[in-house]
Each structure stands twice: as C-alpha cells, then as structure tokens.
Amino acid sequence: MAEVKEIIEKKESAFSFGKEEMKLLRDPLNDNNPVTVQILGVCSALAVTTLLTKAIVMGIAVTLVTAFSNLFTSMLREYIPKQIRMIVQLVIIAFLVTVVELALKAFNYPIWKDLSVFIGLIITNCILMGRLEAYAMANKPWRSFLDGIGNGLGYGLILIAVAATRELFGKGSLLDIKIIGPTSEYFLNTNEIWMLSWYTANNLIILSPAAMFIVAILIWIQRSKNRKLIDIS
Amino acid sequence: MHSTSYVIKFTLVMTIIVAFVLALMVSGLKDIHGENESVYNKKGILSAVSVQLGKDVNAMSNEEVQTIFSKQIEQKVINTKGEELTPEQIKEETDGRSSTAEQLDMAKEGKKADADKLLPVFVFTASDNKKYNIVYTRGKGLWDEIWGYIALESDLNTVAGQAFDHKGETPGLGAEIKDNKAWYGQFTGKKFYNTSGEFTSISVVKGGVKDKTNQVDAISGATITGIGVDEMLERGIKYYEPYFQKLKSKESIN
Amino acid sequence: MGDLINIFVKSAFIENLALSYFLGMCSFLAVSKSVKTAIGLGLAVIFVNALTIPLNWLIDYYLLGEGGLFGMDLTFLRFIIFISTIAALVQLVEMVVEKVSPSLYNSLGIFLPLITVNCAILGASLFMITKEYNFAESVSFGLGGGFGWFLAIVAIAGIREKMAYSNVPAPLRGLGMAFFLTGMMGIAFMGLMGIDPAAFK
C-alpha cells in the first residue's frame, strides 16, 4: 500500500508547479538572461530585430523549439549514446526547426519570406545547445520543458525590447502602424498629423550595428540595477 | 559507453523517424505551400495595377486573388526579339519547369545571355475594358536582388502603376521601395520615351526632380537601392522594346 | 575568374558575415578577449567554412535537389543534413589534425567543437543556397566568408586588449563594451558597402 502511495505522489510531482518551477521560468528573464548575461543566441537577436513583427514571430519560434528540444532530449537522455551526443542533439533541434519552418510557410507565407535564412539559423542559436547540455541532459522532462520555455521567453523579451526600439525610432512605426514622425519627406504635404511630427526617423537605428548598441545599453541598465552581474575581470 | 552496434541502431532508428515525420509533414502541407507561393507571386503582379483595381491587394483573400488573376490577366512569354512563345516552346526553353509567364524563374532568366532571355508580359484588362501591359524587371539592390512590375498605359510609354519588391533591403531605407506608397507612387504618370520617341528611361535622382516627365526623387539614406532601381529600369525595359514595336505596328495595321 | 574574385571580395569585406550580418556572435564575443585565441578561432573558421560550404553545395545539388540521386525534392531535409555535415566534418577535421600535426591541434583544437554551433558556418551554407551560387562560386564564397570573419574577430580582439587600460563604467566592463565595439566596427565596415566589387575584376 505504502509503495503505491509513493508512486502516486511521485507521479504528481512529475508535473507539479511550485516555487522551484517558477524559478525556472523567471530566472532567465533577468538574473540569468540568455542574451544579456550568458551571451547566447546573439546572432539572430540582431538580424531579425528591424521590425517588431519579425521579432515576435522569432521569439515564439525559438520558445517552441527550446521547450520541445529540451523535452525530447530529457526524455531520451538515458538512451542517447555518449559518443554521438552532439550530433543527436543537433538532429533533434534541426528536426524541430524544420517543423516550425514548414508550419510557418503554411500559415504566414510573407513572414516566412521575410525571415528567410534566419529561421534556419535557430539551429545554431547557442541557447538551444547550451540548455540541452547544461540542463536537459541531467534533468527530468517536465522541468526541462519549463526551463526551455523560460529561456525562450528570456530571449524573446530582449528581442522584443530591441525590435520595439529600432522600429519606433528607426522607422517611426510599431507593428507596421505609424506612430511618430512623418512617414517620410514625401508625406510632409499631406494632412495626416502624427505624434511628434517633427521627428525624422533615425536611419542609423534601423541598421544592424545599432542593434549592438541597444543590447549594450540594455546590459548597462541591467547591470547597474543588478550589481552582482558586473564583470570583475 | 554504448557499443558501436547500439550507436548504429540508435542512429538508424532516429534517422528513419525524423525523415518519416518530416516527409509526412511536407507532403501534407505541399498544397498549402504551393497555393501560398502562387498567391504571393500573383499579389506581387496585381500590386502594379492596384489603383485600377481600386483595392488593396495585400488585404485580398486567396480566392479573390486567384479569380481576378484568372479572369483579368492574360499571360504571355516573349523573347528579346519580341516574339511570343507557345506553351510548348516555353517548356522546351525552361527544361519543362514552366509553361506560363508566372512560373518563369526570373533569377535564372536574368543570368542567361540576352538573346536567350525569356520575358513575362501580363496583360491586365480593367473593369472599363482598358488594357495595361505589365512588364517585369530585375536588378541588384544594396543587399540582394530587387525587382519590379511596371504597368504601362496603352501608349506603351506612360506608367500606369508599379510595384517593387526586394529580397533583403533594410526596412525604413531600401525597403521603402516596396513599403512607401509616396515614393513608388511618384512613378505613376512618368514616361519612358521623350517626345521625339527616344528611350530615356525613368531615372532616380538625388536633390530634386528637374525633368518631371522622366525623373523621380531618390529615398534619402538608400542611395544604392536607388541606383539599383534606376539601373534595372533602364536595362529591363529596353528588353521589351521589340515587343512594344510589334504591338504598335499591329495596332496601326488594324 | 573575375566573378570569383568579385564574390571573394564581396563576402570578405562588403557582406562580412560577422560585421554586417552579425553571425557567429556567441563565440565572437566570448573568444575575442585576446588576439592570440582570436587568431586560433579565426583560422579554424576559415578552414571549416572553406570545406563545408562546397561540400554542402555538392550534397544539396547531387542528393537533395530534384535532379539529384533520389530524383525527388528532398530540400526539406536541408537543415538536418547541413548541420550534420558540419558537425561530422568538424569532428573529422579534429581527428585528422590531431594525428597529422599535434602543434596545430594544440592551437586550433579547443576551438573546433565551438565551431559546430557557430552560426557563421551554417549561415554561410544557407546564404549559398539563397544566393544560388554554382560550385566554383561556393568555393570562393566559403573562403571569402571565413576570411572576413577571421579579420573581424582579430580586429575586435586587438581593440579589446587595449580596452583593458581604459576606464570603462563598471556595468559596461567586459561584455557591454564588447557589444559597443562590435557595433562601431560594424559601422566602419558599412563604409565599404558602396564599393563596386566589379572594380576588382
């Protein structure tokens, strides 16, 4: 009898959601952010942040892939041969990325066209390999799944922050809806009046180097608030 | 450590499962992908006559695009001598890949020698029975390729509408050729030939338009994309000259 | 031949994988602390890039393409095949280098596993597909792309070494400054964009 009870308890705890699990979700958003603290997955964070729509789609795609690759790897962790561990992990990731790509191509063709190679580059997003090696290979499936969601969201958060800044000040719009400044000099003679219509969109911000500056500024803000993250070396 | 035979077995099972699931997904979604692609291309073509259609092409449903395209567009493929090709000839020239103008792989055609190039023409019949020839041109922007569909009035000289697109120009800068209505709208009403019938093309100029019949203002901050548009119009429209001449002589006989 | 030089110059300078597409940033930022290690990683990237891109081209053309060995369109397997090729090749190179030249292995060896997940390599393979290069062009693109990445990481490492003597605000030290420097370097490289590569023919 006692044994049965223990098993039931164990089964419950497999999907429980307590403080520990909450920490898995919350930590990557700030203290252990994959982009600004662990410097993982920076590449795509810069290329897809010219428009907010692209960044949101990318954030969702990465969250899905991290969550499920963590889940599958964790489920298979005892069966994966150690010698070919890396390639097996890469195949799992590449498989999920292909699934996401095929789905996106079916549901939103223009966005798929826009993101082009950057969907494929999710495979080499270091967040994925990093989480598989550091977490999923040593933990139970449910927790690995949450860890994946947390890290995907942490990445998505930075992506959205950078993209919102770039699109707003570089193009004067958000989600392709005009917010500030005239659309361009050709619109000056129309009657449309926008917020801050004297503002001229800053071309530099839309160019890729500016994404670097924005991430640097985010790091600056985060580290001056959270002093324990400061690099002492 | 696992034994080598286990490693091989594991790899085989994994490969089979992965390939099977993906193959299933691809074949399941094939029709949707094909439909999406064709609608995307058709929207690109129809955008050139969006003023004549009186609708925003991007807001149209897939069915609407398909019906307008099949009812109001007549497709032709011509060569640089201005001769129209039959579907069989097109198939032969493209190794069986395409039989209509919309299926032409324009990136491949661009790489061919001038004499072998195939050019698409889409003749659009508006609701008032006016006919517009939509021609195509392709060139290089800052990052990657750019292309455009130009709809011409029946005089085969005046621009009636236009739609540009690009593979990877910067949003807010080069990508304005597609996004900024105020910019591409400048082309409407411009002429490719001057009053004495010489080909002048339409040029993209910096610092103010001097000749209102064949110049448009450049996008500030996107110099190279502007040069690209300028170049592709001058080169691309010239390929169609023999076709225009044939059309004109046909009309004068009638 | 002119076209090949054109592609080399374009991929090394004008469309620099690191500084205009910002690919391979994870290892770029982590390893650019000293010039010596930067040179090691840079050389490894040139090496692997120059090998994998033509190899992936051959695989794509002869196995996955419609006119390939299986006679059907298998391009949906591209991601999986490309990344496996890269991982396998990196491992192979590691083994060969270890046997043939232990001294080269000592300087390159530790960087090789890092390269598998370097987006510059997979990115270059995918760009090679979207740009529709032929085989010779893909060789030139692989060499040029790797060389450009090498130049970029060595340049940044040089600047970062000198940064050690500067008084940087504490929260920006290390990583934050590396981001700023890379961004500025990116702007400097944008100055090369107006160059017409045809001039190198």
A171 touches B at CB < 8 Å = yes
Contact across the interface for B144 and C132, Cβ inside 8 Å = no
Contacts of B142 in chain C (CB under 8 A): 193
Range of the domain at B177: 73-253
pLDDT digits (tens, 9 = 90+) for C122-170: 888 888 888 888 888 899 999 999 999 999 999 999 998 888 888 878 7
Question: Would residue A19 count as lying in a domain?
Answer: no
How many domains is chain B built from? 1
Contact across the interface for C183 and A210, Cβ inside 8 Å = yes
How many domains is chain A built from? 1
Q: Yes or no: say if B149 and B133 are a contact pair by the CB < 8 Å rule.
A: no
In the numeric block, which tokens belong to residue A114? 């826009």
Q: Report B:168-187 residues touching A (Cβ under 8 A).
A: 168, 170-173, 176, 180, 182-183, 186
A118 or C144, higher pLDDT: C144
User: How many residues are recorded in chain B?
Assistant: 254
Q: With CA atoms as reference, report the closest residue to A186 among B183, B218, B222, B184.
A: B183
> What's the pLDDT band for B253 if we cut at 50, 70, 90?
low
Residue type, B115: A
Query: Which neighbouring-strand residues pair with B148?
Result: B137, B164
Question: Would residue A16 count as lying in a domain?
Answer: no
Helix orientation angle between C135-163 and C2-9, rounded to the nearest 10 degrees: 30
Contact across the interface for C183 and A209, Cβ inside 8 Å = yes
A82: nearest CB among B2, B18, B40: B2
> What's the pLDDT band for A225 if we cut at 50, 70, 90?
confident
> What's the pLDDT band for A68 if we cut at 50, 70, 90?
very high
Helix orientation angle between C35-59 and C119-130, rounded to the nearest 10 degrees: 40
Question: Would residue A159 count as lying in a domain?
Answer: yes
Question: Would residue B154 count as lying in a domain?
Answer: yes
Contact across the interface for B29 and A105, Cβ inside 8 Å = yes
B223 touches A at CB < 8 Å = no
Q: What percent of chain B has pLDDT over 70?
A: 98
Range of the domain at A81: 39-227
Could you give the CA distance from residue C157 to residue C143 in angstroms, rounded to a whole number? 21
Question: Would residue A29 count as lying in a domain?
Answer: no
Q: Among A52-61, A187-196, B63-72, B125-134, which range has the highest average pLDDT?
A: A52-61
Query: Which pLDDT value is given to residue B131?
Result: 83
Query: Which pLDDT value is given to residue B46?
Result: 85
Q: Name C137's Cβ contacts closer than 8 Å, sequence gap at least 6.
A: C3, C4, C7
Question: Would residue A78 count as lying in a domain?
Answer: yes
pLDDT at B30 over 80: yes
Q: Yes or no: say if C176 and A212 are a contact pair by the CB < 8 Å rule.
A: no
Contacts of C194 in chain B (CB under 8 A): 223-224
Q: Residue A27 in 3-state DSSP?
A: helix
Query: Which pLDDT value is given to residue A12?
Result: 47
Residue A192 sits at the vertex; the CA angle it makes with A189 and A193, to the nearest 5 degrees, is 105
Query: Which pLDDT value is given to residue C148?
Result: 92
Residue A212 sits at the vertex; the CA angle it makes with A125 and A111, to the nearest 5 degrees, is 55
Question: Would residue A73 count as lying in a domain?
Answer: yes
Q: Name B53's Cβ contacts closer than 8 Å, sequence gap at least 6.
A: B46, B68, B126
Q: What percent of chain B has pLDDT over 90?
A: 0
Could you give the CA distance from residue C40 to residue C115 in angstroms, rounded to a whole number? 12
Q: With CA atoms as reference, report the closest residue to C48 among C154, C152, C145, C136.
A: C145
Average pLDDT over residues C39-55: 87
Ramachandran angles phi, psi of C24, nearest 5°:
75, 30
Question: Would residue B6 count as lying in a domain?
Answer: no
pLDDT digits (tens, 9 = 90+) for C8-23: 888 888 888 888 888 8
Contact across the interface for B26 and A201, Cβ inside 8 Å = no
In the numeric block, which tokens belong to residue A105? 């191509």
pLDDT at B215 over 90: no
Query: Which pLDDT value is given to residue C201?
Result: 45
pLDDT at A14 over 80: no
Question: Would residue B185 count as lying in a domain?
Answer: yes
* pTM, rounded to two decimals: 0.81
Average pLDDT over residues B6-34: 87
> What's the pLDDT band for A194 if we cut at 50, 70, 90?
low
Query: How crowded is the C-beta side of B53, counted as CA atoms within 13 Å?
Result: 25
Contact across the interface for A50 and B183, Cβ inside 8 Å = no
Query: Which pLDDT value is given to residue C154?
Result: 92
Assembly ipTM = 0.79
Query: Which pLDDT value is given to residue A222?
Result: 82
A38 or A96, higher pLDDT: A96
> What's the pLDDT band for A1 if we cut at 50, 70, 90?
very low
pLDDT digits (tens, 9 = 90+) for B197-214: 788 888 888 877 777 788
Could you give the CA distance from residue C35 to residue C40 in angstroms, rounded to a whole number? 9
Helix orientation angle between C35-59 and C135-163, rounded to the nearest 10 degrees: 160
Contact across the interface for C180 and A120, Cβ inside 8 Å = no
Could you give the CA distance from residue C32 to residue C155 in angstroms, rounded to a whole number? 9
In the numeric block, which tokens belong to residue B6? 């286990």
End-to-end alpha-carbon separation of chain A, Å? Answer: 57
Q: How many helices (H) and strands (E) does chain B have?
A: 9, 7
B55 or B21, higher pLDDT: B21
Question: Lowest mean pLDDT: which of A29-43, B111-125, C15-29?
Answer: A29-43
**Contacting subunits of A (3+ beta carbon pairs below 8 A):** B, C
User: How many residues are recorded in chain A?
Assistant: 233
C176: nearest CB among A94, A220, A233: A220
Question: Lowest mean pLDDT: which of A17-26, B149-158, C145-154?
Answer: A17-26
Contacts of A132 in chain C (CB under 8 A): none
User: Tokens 């190899």 correspond to what residue?
Assistant: C55
User: Tokens 């419950």 correspond to what residue?
Assistant: A12
Question: Would residue A15 count as lying in a domain?
Answer: no
Question: Would residue A232 count as lying in a domain?
Answer: no
pLDDT at A5 over 60: no
Q: Is the dihedral of CA A123, A127, A133, A138 positive or negative?
A: negative
